[in-house]
């Protein structure tokens, strides 16, 4: 499975959960993510799929793209307080998108997911995409990795919020997500802390969060 095919599988996993009856039933209730309703969190998950066609439709970046880790070193939301402008804006965007309801949102994601395979297959191997909301470019496959990470994390958040179990993601999705989160955690806490967390429970730090 190629990286781009893996992203389509991640989108399908998000779509399946968004269409779950429990999501619609608990739409206006608080979610597991503070400040988000279930609907707002579902919409935030959905945007990881819905924004991709617009990104692909934009012109390729003229400047050299950031690396994947360089991207996360620069984004404003990493380490930001819950009530910071950036995080309030993210929640407001999700709640606004949720206003049309669960069925409409799930339908939008289903429509986009159906088109993703052809859209991604049409992109050149060296495609660079511009991310206007941050002001820099990424290689397309790196951008898709960021979206798969968001889908993996927020799919779990949404499943916990509505009390449903979800199956494992395909290895082609989970592998890049795990690699990204491990590298971010090691950069944040250091290699020693990371090694101890994974291999030496008796010396493991209390926290080894990536973000």
Position 189 in a domain: no
What crossing angle do the helices spanning 102-121 and 3-18 adopt, rounded to 10°? Answer: 170
CA-CA distance, 99 to 91, in Å (whole number)?
13
For residue 130, list its beta bridge partners.
137
pLDDT of residue 211: 86
Position 186 in a domain: no
Domain that holds residue 111: 3-166
CA-CA distance, 84 to 123, in Å (whole number)?
36
Position 11 in a domain: yes
Residues of the chain with pLDDT under 50: none
Position 187 in a domain: no
pLDDT of residue 8: 98
Position 172 in a domain: no
pLDDT of residue 49: 98
pLDDT of residue 124: 95
For residue 142, give the nearest of 57, 50, 61, 45 by alpha carbon: 61
Q: pTM of the prediction?
A: 0.95
For residue 3, give the nearest of 141, 95, 123, 109 by alpha carbon: 141
- DSSP state for residue 60 in the 8-state scheme: B
Position 211 in a domain: no
H or E element at residue 138: strand 136-139
- Does residue 135 come out as left (phi exceeding 0), alpha (psi in the -120 to 50 range) or beta? left
Q: What is the CATH number of the domain that holds 88?
A: 1.20.120.450
With 0-12 CB in 10 A as exposed, 13-18 as middle and 19+ as buried, what is 63?
A: exposed
- The per-residue pLDDT for range 21-76, each reduced to its tens digit, is 999 999 999 999 999 999 999 999 999 999 999 999 988 766 799 999 999 999 88
Position 182 in a domain: no
Write out 111-154 in H/E/C secondary structure: HHHHHHHHHHHCCCCCCEEEECCCCEEEEHHHHHHHHHHHHHHH
Residues with Cβ within 8 Å of 191's Cβ and at least 6 positions away in sequence, in order, are none
Tally of domains within the chain: 1
**DSSP SS3 for 139:** strand
pLDDT of residue 85: 87
Position 106 in a domain: yes
């Amino acid at each position: 499975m190629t990286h781009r095919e893996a992203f389509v599988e991640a989108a399908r996993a998000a779509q399946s959960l968004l269409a779950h009856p429990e999501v619609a039933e608990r739409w206006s209730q608080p979610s597991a993510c503070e400040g988000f309703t279930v609907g707002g969190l579902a919409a935030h998950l959905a945007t990881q799929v819905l924004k991709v066609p617009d990104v692909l439709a934009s012109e390729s970046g003229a400047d050299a793209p950031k690396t994947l880790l360089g991207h996360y070193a620069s984004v404003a939301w990493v380490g930001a307080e819950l009530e910071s402008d950036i995080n309030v804006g993210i929640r407001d965007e999700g709640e606004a998108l949720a206003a049309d309801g669960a069925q409409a949102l799930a339908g939008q994601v289903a429509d986009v997911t159906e088109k993703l395979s052809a859209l991604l297959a049409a992109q050149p191997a060296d495609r660079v995409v511009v991310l206007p909301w941050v002001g820099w470019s990424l290689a397309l496959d790196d951008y898709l990795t960021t979206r798969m990470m968001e889908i993996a994390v927020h799919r779990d958040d949404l499943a916990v919020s509505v009390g449903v179990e979800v199956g494992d993601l395909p290895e082609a999705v989970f592998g890049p997500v795990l690699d990204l989160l491990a590298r971010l955690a090691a950069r944040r806490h250091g290699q020693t802390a990371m090694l101890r967390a994974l291999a030496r429970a008796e010396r493991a730090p209390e926290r080894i969060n990536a973000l």
